[in-house]
């Protein structure tokens, strides 16, 4: 049976733009729940620095969804409040925040980033605190911690999907890749060339770039020298925009194909006209499908609370986590049952789920990984236009 949040348009019609924030002096909690049935949710995300757009989108979305649940009367007597902290995409900061959340006795933690999630686990795992993370889907299969849940695809399969698009749709067999020089980028660095070569192609250049880089001139020159007409980008929004600008400055104008996190409002601002024509993978239900309950709820909530983040993949992923929190609490407390972390974890597992904008996610005992399907879109006139249908991502070679 599907677990669906009761966040209808009517229920959130009065949603205000203000978000919840943790306040001092609240009742003591046990298992992340206070005596008045307030559930404390901890958010650790990128809220400053070059990649802040995605983390702020996640923060705003989760707070908005939980605020909407509160304004609709709560969930079986339970309400939510949030504590939010900035890990700046730094694993050491993420680890420290996780320890703070243990001290704060949060019921559940949300975070973004593979390395930052892994840094948080040593603190929260011994306490049985669930963690939702926008991290590489591969780390959730099988889950090394029963209470960890993902929404993003397996990054190796995501990169293989990009390679498949370049070969099958763009009909190019010679290409190049620029990827994050980090734990998140490693799967793409292996899977992309493996898929290309297995299908008769060749990767002419492979450039690893740190997320903190500010000068992309050297990488742009190497990509241009390779002669690649198509470049696959496994960079964040700021990185892709910077690489496109550096390439433009030396007269290099390849076709750009990108994975999903790069498409943010900040990317469109930073890249400007260079964003036009860029292909971007997406795994959430298209926002044009307004008859879909998840989409209509998302638009109603986000237009009021987080209008600038509506089109960001980070916000769309966060909506699925937030909807899962609401649905899990609802399921776990049916018939007046007391909410526990253990009951919540069991409630969100199942074969038939519909959380937010990502219906292809199913968390089972075998995998707590994220989406398995994606489609390719192209930026035209500042908007995403569908190019391919949603299809299962290929297995990495």
For residue 382, name the pLDDT band (cuts at 50, 70, 90): confident
Average pLDDT value for the chain: 89
Residue 4 has pLDDT above 60, yes or no: no
List the one residue out of 203, 209, 251 whose CA is nearest residue 231.
203
Average pLDDT for 329-358: 87
- Residue 24: its pLDDT value, please? 42
List the one residue out of 189, 237, 188, 245 whose CA is nearest residue 216.
245
Q: Is 49 exposed, middle or buried (0-12, 13-18, 19+ CB in 10 A)?
A: middle
Average pLDDT for 305-315: 90
Domains and CATH numbers, the chain: 29-153+285-366 (3.40.50.2300), 155-282+375-392 (3.40.50.2300)
Strands 391-392 and 373-380: antiparallel
Strands 38-45 and 108-112: parallel
Q: Report whether 181 contacts 235 (CB < 8 A).
A: no
Q: Report whether 70 contacts 16 (CB < 8 A).
A: no
Encode pLDDT of 160-201 as tens digits.
Answer: 999 999 999 999 999 999 999 998 899 999 999 999 999 999
List the one residue out of 31, 258, 254 whose CA is nearest residue 165.
258
Residue 367 has pLDDT above 70, yes or no: yes
- Residue 15: its pLDDT value, please? 37
- Residue 266: its pLDDT value, please? 86
Q: Report whether 177 contacts 231 (CB < 8 A).
A: yes
Least confident range from 204-208, 282-286, 353-357: namely 353-357
Residues across the chain: 397
Residue 211 has pLDDT above 90, yes or no: no
Query: ω into residue 384 within 30 of 0, thus cis?
Result: no
- The two structure tokens encoding residue 253: 């104008």
Q: How far apart (Å, rounded) are the C-alpha atoms in residues 369 and 361?
A: 7
Instruction: Enter the DSSP assignment of 121.
Output: H
Q: Where are the alpha helices (DSSP H) in the chain?
A: 52-71, 91-104, 114-124, 155-168, 186-198, 217-226, 237-249, 265-271, 293-305, 313-332, 341-347
pTM of this prediction?
0.77
């Amino acid at each position: 049976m599907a677990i669906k949040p009761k966040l209808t348009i009517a229920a959130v019609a009065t949603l205000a733009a203000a978000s919840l924030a943790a306040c001092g002096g609240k009742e003591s909690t046990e298992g992340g729940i206070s005596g008045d049935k307030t559930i404390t949710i901890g958010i650790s995300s990128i809220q400053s620095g070059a990649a802040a757009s995605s983390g702020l989108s996640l923060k705003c979305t989760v707070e908005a969804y939980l605020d909407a649940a509160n304004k609709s009367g709560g969930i079986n007597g339970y309400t939510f409040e949030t504590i939010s902290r900035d890990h700046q995409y730094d694993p050491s900061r993420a680890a420290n925040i996780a320890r703070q959340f243990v001290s704060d006795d949060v019921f559940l933690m949300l975070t973004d980033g593979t390395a930052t999630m892994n840094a948080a686990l040593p603190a929260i795992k011994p306490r049985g605190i669930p963690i939702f993370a926008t991290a590489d889907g591969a780390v959730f299969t099988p889950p090394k911690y029963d209470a960890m849940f993902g929404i993003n695809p397996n990054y190796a399969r995501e990169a293989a999907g990009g390679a498949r698009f370049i070969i099958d749709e763009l009909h190019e067999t010679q290409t190049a890749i620029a990827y994050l020089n980090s734990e998140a980028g490693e799967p793409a660095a292996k899977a992309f060339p493996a898929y290309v070569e297995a299908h008769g192609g060749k990767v002419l250049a492979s450039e690893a770039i740190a997320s903190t880089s500010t000068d992309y001139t050297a990488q742009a020159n190497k990509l241009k020298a390779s002669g690649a007409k198509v470049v696959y980008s496994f960079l964040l929004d700021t990185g892709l925009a910077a690489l496109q600008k550096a390439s433009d400055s030396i007269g290099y104008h390849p076709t750009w194909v990108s994975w999903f996190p790069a498409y943010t409002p900040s990317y469109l601002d930073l890249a400007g006209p260079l964003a036009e024509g860029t292909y971007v993978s997406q795994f959430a239900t298209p926002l044009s499908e307004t008859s879909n309950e998840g989409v209509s709820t998302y638009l109603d909530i986000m237009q009021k609370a987080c209008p600038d983040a509506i089109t960001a993949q980070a916000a769309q992923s966060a909506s699925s986590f937030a909807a899962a929190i609401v649905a899990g609490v609802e399921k776990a407390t049916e018939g007046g049952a007391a909410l526990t972390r253990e009951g919540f974890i069991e409630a969100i597992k199942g074969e038939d789920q519909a959380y937010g904008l990502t219906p292809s996610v199913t968390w089972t005992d075998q995998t707590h990984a994220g989406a398995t399907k994606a489609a390719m879109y192209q930026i035209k006139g500042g908007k995403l236009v569908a190019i391919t249908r949603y299809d299962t991502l290929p297995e990495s070679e």
